[in-house]
Structure 1
């Protein structure tokens, strides 16, 4: 299978770089899979589990959101945070999910619902990354 280069960058570090068969992630317009020779593409990324496939190996990572650009057989992902499943504190993610759900259920007008929805999505992405890596 043809390969392409992927680089994932956060403000703290270069999280991943390498040649892969495909990446699969959720964007603001839906789920997208990028393969070699894909047409040029750019999209916003929502909190998601990124699936990276290379040969017979599959890796998962939790992304907090960001931007994706693909052109000339090179994908660049910019994200505020990216974590491998083994880096995720599962208990902390569960508590973050519970807090976000409580905020969304509350009738408190001071709660920023959009912010709570994003927090919920980030926590769910982290938990899904851990589950899929098992």
Structure 2
């Protein structure tokens, strides 16, 4: 662990649960892929390895993006917002980002007062997770 990484982490405004919102965006197209959460350990690992690591609130453990699906995120650049309470990860996404098999988790749009799916899965989720 580098001293520089710890200096950066000390400047992050984690919430009362020790988490920070993290938005992953495809670095070259600008497509917003997903929102997840990071704790200090996940952010440290992401900074030090260059591979996206999140905190899974449902599993209560670190979640290395792609560990079960192979759909990884290589971090091109990591940015903090002005309040340092949100992280933007500019990533190179391998495969799809969403567990539904879609490129982006943001596939439902509100149109004429209704939710409409605007993209279809590119990959069968059962194939991604070996169900």
Q: Which is helix-richer, 1 or 2?
A: 1
Give the TM-score normalised by the residue count of structure 2: 0.39
TM-score (norm 1): 0.38
Task: Please state which structure has a larger fraction of its residues in strand.
Answer: 1
